[in-house]
């Protein structure tokens, strides 16, 4: 996400930091590089022009040029203006005064409307709501069945009346059912088309008029760049949007749609789709995304993900094991699986300040690849419970058996055992409050 843009901006600011005091010419050269980086990231020309003008007006003042840390001041200004471009604050879904809250999803075919209806329902259920999904896409083949299947997988109810009933009536019936049954949120999955057309617009406008949804979200494919911005403008003019869900953000290294769409349409981005899993939906925080783009990490989102994934009692029990020096391979496997539930390892590490640059280095990325985690998991799973608890008993014949069972080599098994032994030493020292001497030397 934003990989190419992030790399270019970080390289530009790295040059600035090496100059000490800055001149107006230094700032102008840096802004020229920022402008090119934004245009290459497929950001709208008007948005780029406005952004650069705002940064220039603040960055060439005496407060910056005469500062003891002028490069840091410029980065701070760029961060603040990125946040302003992206939309300032996190926009929550406002619950209706009288339930259910009705959320209508609109968009083109292929943007991920149906899958994101399920992701949104799962997200809202975690917030304590009772969602009902509505299969109102009666045109796309198997769209109704797809939503029903997703509902079964996530244990979320779906209202469907097949493909012969008018979509407007389906939505009206679903809302009436939701009121009777006490559902607190209704998510309408409406039909899309391959292209914008009058028939589609009339239908979604009719649903909006009859059902009176509290939120109308456009689900837009971020990888289509400025086309997504054009689609958002058209839908906003005809239907009246209250929010945007940008999908496939994990596959978009440029990010132009996210940086343009809010500024051009005035409609806030509410969520980002960042993967294929049902829980791969992130609330949109402009300040956090701006920090990620500039390589500053995103600790708050990382902490929230960890809180959702890790059991507090289990974490306390693990802490006691670390202090007692009894942390074994079974415990390590448990922790590994919990980390995997947080999402792809690369996404997690890029939220840690300073790691985004390291993840671009091939050797580092390969060492922390998700496939490497699967290999480690396979090796530990091929051990007996006794071997996991007491890895010191693993001799040559046991190594060969574990290697055969995990599809690896005895050398790879040995490497894992040695690394785990070193990790145990570090953890034992850390738990005692005394880092090992070799670690202190590395940090000095």
- Structural tokens at position 406: 């995990």
Quick one: 148 and 282 in the same domain?
yes
The answer to whether residue 426 sits within a structural domain is yes
Task: Please indicate, yes or no, if residue 91 is contained in any of the structural domains.
Answer: no
CATH number of the domain at 67, please: 1.20.120.140
User: Does residue 96 sit within a domain?
Assistant: no
Q: Are residues 313 and 420 in the same domain?
A: yes
Number of domains in the chain: 3
Same domain, 74 and 183: no
pTM of the model: 0.70
Spatial separation of the C-alpha atoms in residues 184 and 415, rounded to whole Å = 53
Q: Domain check: are 117 and 192 in the same one?
A: yes
Domain match, 137 and 76 both? no
Quote the pLDDT of residue 419.
Answer: 82
* 333 shares its domain with 429: yes
Give the end of a domain, one of 258, 277, 296.
296
Q: Which of 18, 53, 86 represents a domain boundary (last residue)?
A: 86
Q: How far apart are CA 34 and CA 12, in angstroms?
A: 7
> So what's the pLDDT on residue 439?
41
Range of the domain at 15: 3-86
CATH number of 169's domain: 3.40.50.300
The answer as to whether 140 is a domain residue is yes
Burial (0-12, 13-18, 19+ Cβ within 10 Å), 385: exposed
CA distance 268 to 287: 13
- Asked whether residue 92 is domain-assigned, the answer is no
pLDDT along the chain (444 residues), means of 10: 76 77 83 89 89 88 67 84 83 86 92 93 93 92 91 96 91 96 95 80 92 94 84 90 89 72 88 87 86 67 59 65 72 76 65 53 54 85 91 91 92 88 69 50 42
The pLDDT of residue 102 = 96
434 with 356, same domain: the answer is yes
pLDDT at 139: 86
CB-CB contact of 77 with 9 (8 Å): no
76 and 182 inside one domain: no
Residues 270, 334 share a domain = no
- Please give the pLDDT value at position 428: 64
pLDDT of residue 374: 83
Residue 120, pLDDT score: 96
């Amino acid at each position: 996400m934003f990989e190419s843009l992030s790399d270019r901006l970080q390289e530009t600011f790295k040059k600035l930091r090496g100059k000490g005091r800055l001149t107006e010419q230094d700032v102008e050269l840096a802004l020229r590089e920022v402008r090119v980086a934004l245009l290459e990231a497929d950001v709208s020309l008007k948005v780029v022009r406005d952004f650069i003008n705002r940064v220039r007006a603040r960055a060439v003042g005496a407060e910056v040029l005469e500062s003891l840390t002028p490069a840091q001041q410029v980065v701070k200004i760029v961060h603040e203006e990125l946040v302003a471009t992206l939309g300032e604050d996190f926009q929550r879904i406002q619950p209706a005064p009288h339930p259910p809250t009705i959320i209508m999803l609109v968009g083109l075919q292929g943007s991920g409307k149906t899958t994101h209806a399920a992701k949104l329902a799962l997200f809202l259920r975690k917030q304590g709501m009772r969602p009902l999904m509505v299969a109102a896409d009666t045109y796309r083949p198997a769209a109704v069945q797809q939503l029903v299947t997703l509902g079964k997988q996530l244990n979320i109810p779906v209202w469907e009346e097949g493909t012969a009933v008018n979509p407007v009536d389906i939505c009206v019936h679903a809302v009436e059912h939701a009121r009777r049954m006490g559902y607190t949120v209704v998510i309408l999955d409406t039909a899309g088309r391959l292209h914008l057309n009058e028939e589609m617009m009339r239908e979604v406008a009719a649903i909006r008029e009859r059902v009176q949804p509290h939120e109308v979200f456009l689900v837009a494919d971020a990888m289509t760049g400025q086309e997504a911005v054009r689609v958002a403008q058209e839908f906003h003019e005809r239907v009246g949007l209250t929010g945007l869900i940008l999908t496939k953000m994990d596959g978009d290294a440029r990010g132009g749609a996210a940086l343009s769409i809010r500024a051009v349409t005035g409609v806030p981005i509410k969520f980002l789709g960042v993967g294929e899993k049902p829980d791969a939906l992130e609330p949109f925080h402009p300040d956090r995304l701006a920090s990620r783009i500039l390589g500053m990490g995103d600790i708050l989102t990382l902490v929230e993900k960890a809180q959702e994934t890790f059991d507090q009692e289990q974490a306390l029990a693990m802490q006691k094991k670390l202090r007692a020096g009894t942390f074994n391979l079974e415990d390590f496997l448990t922790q590994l699986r919990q980390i995997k539930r947080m999402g792809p390892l690369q996404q997690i590490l890029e939220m840690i300040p300073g790691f985004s640059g390291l993840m671009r280095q091939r050797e580092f990325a390969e060492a922390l690849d998700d496939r490497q985690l699967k290999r480690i998991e396979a090796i530990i799973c091929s051990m007996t419970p006794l071997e996991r608890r007491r890895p010191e008993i693993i001799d040559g014949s046991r190594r060969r058996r574990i290697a055969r069972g995990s599809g690896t080599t005895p050398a790879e098994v040995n490497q894992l055992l040695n690394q785990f032994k070193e990790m145990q030493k570090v953890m034992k020292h850390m738990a005692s409050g005394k880092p090992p001497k070799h670690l202190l030397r590395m940090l000095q």
